Amino acid sequence: MLSSRDAPGQVTRRQVPTTLNQADRLALAYGPDRWRKRPVTFGMQIRGRLEVPLIELALTLTARRHSALRTYFPYGPAADRALCLDPRDVSWPLALVDLSRMPPADKAAAEHAAFVALIECFGPANPPLFRGIIVKHAEDEWLLGIAADHLIFDGSSIPLFLRDLENVYNHLFSGREATDLSVEVSDFSLFCTAERKWLASPAAERAACYWKPIWDGMGPSPLSVLPTIKPGAAAPSGHVWSTALPAPAIAQTRRLLPHGHLSLFALAAGCVISVLSDITGRADCGILHTSSRRSWPGAAEMIGCLMNRVLLRVNTAGAESLPDVAGLTRNAILDSMEHMMAPFEFLMQRFSPDQSGRMPQNPHVLVDVDSEPDPPQLGGLEVTMAWPVAGDAFRDDPRVIVSLQPSGPDLVTLSCGYQASLFHAEFIDNFMGRVAGLLTSGSG
């Protein structure tokens, strides 16, 4: 990989390869659509005597230890290369929003405005592709907000980031030298190189042969035929539907299904497909789901965008109950597991070359099941996870994103992010209520 320092006083950077995911997003960002996805956003509620300069230094050193967080994407005719900054040229300042002396009636609006600004899209050519804010509610009450562009960060990077932030912060908090932390923990360019080798291998052709009949007439964004609001009838807005479900009831539903081991994801996807089939009257149903390619050698502890999107297609013809649909769903997932490493964009190029891969094409359903990450243990501070301004992230997204998140032994959160100016709230209430009912049907 090439390194360069253009002139005295300028930053050092090296060329690194991009993934197909990144190349596709860049084509959308720099192309006529000018489409960019809102960043990955998460937060931490902090109680205690927080030293803002210390958390800023910990964030800076954490960013320096992961090449993905130092990467940016200058505009150019080819999207197969990016630039990675030298660790010394990266810093992570926090924007301070002090609400401690503000009248209570104004606090909520001011905090919301700060987090709406946090989730604004990044310009790929303007590093860094991350930002943060620290909201002060009182001397011992804070809210830290983090945003990182999807080009360099995905949801499964959050727990890895939090773990390294914890290590770095506590190292500094104990009074040890910052120079002891000047070691690179993960290099995302290694994954980029591995993907390029995979694309030129026989495994890529085998994957294409497997996915072709599944994509025919269904991919890349399976049209759900869900009832929508007339375009332009209202200004874009987003909303999150959410409810808490008893984990024991869901566990009972899983045990009642006579199809061997049924994962929580297989149950959730089966419930969504069952409701979709019933609502639309279609037996041939498709949803998208997320999958992480962290099973590749060396990728398990790597920060970057390793997320993949996978088409799950199930024909419910002849299925008479949830156990039938869940069994079909489970079989489809198991059949596809060997080929889930195939990049979504690779299949786009093969089977839908006239469409943009990551730009949502039409209303469809995506299902995601993931546990809430453990909060970092930061010195003497009390930290809990927070997910600010969730609804705003869906205001220009035509997908119905169904999420199931275990939050301990007794509770599972079922949520749905959607564009409120595209889908009627009454429809989402009915759709998600039926999914919730199926998830907990084993207890009844």
* Terminal Cα-to-Cα distance of the chain (whole angstroms): 60
Phi, psi of 134 (to 5 degrees): -125, 115
Strand partners, 288: 311, 366
Q: Supply the pTM of this predicted model.
A: 0.92
Q: 43: buried, middle or exposed (CB in 10 Å: 19+, 13-18, 0-12)?
A: buried
What is the per-residue pLDDT for 2? 36
Residue 251 CB-density burial (10 A; 0-12 exposed, 13-18 middle, 19+ buried)? middle
Q: What is the pLDDT of residue 250?
A: 95
The candidate with the shortest Cα–Cα distance to 65, out of 246, 171, 209, 187, is 187
Q: What is the pLDDT of residue 140?
A: 96
Q: What's the pLDDT at 10? A: 64
Residue 256 tokens, joined: 């009642």
For residues 84 and 153, what is the distance between their CA atoms, to the nearest angstrom? 14
Per-residue pLDDT at 1: 34
- Give the up-direction half-sphere exposure of residue 76: CA atoms within 13 A in the CB hemisphere: 11
Which residue's entry shows tokens 């949830």? Answer: 322
The span from the CA of 297 to the CA of 268, in Å, is: 29
pLDDT (0 to 100) of residue 78: 62
Mean pLDDT, consecutive 10-residue stretches, the chain (444 aa), reads: 46 89 90 86 96 97 98 81 95 96 89 91 96 96 97 96 98 93 94 95 96 92 80 76 95 84 93 94 94 89 95 94 94 93 93 69 87 93 89 81 90 94 93 97 68
Rounded distance between C-alpha atoms, residue 87 and residue 62, angstroms: 10
**Domains identified in the chain and CATH numbers:** 9-190 (3.30.559.10), 209-372+388-443 (3.30.559.30)
356 alpha carbon, distance to own chain's centre: 19
pLDDT of residue 188: 97
pLDDT, position 7: 47
The answer to whether 14 touches 84, Cβ cutoff 8 Å, is yes
- Residues with Cβ within 8 Å of 121's Cβ and at least 6 positions away in sequence, in order, are 36, 37, 38, 39, 149
With contact defined as beta carbons under 8 Å apart, do 144 and 124 qualify? no
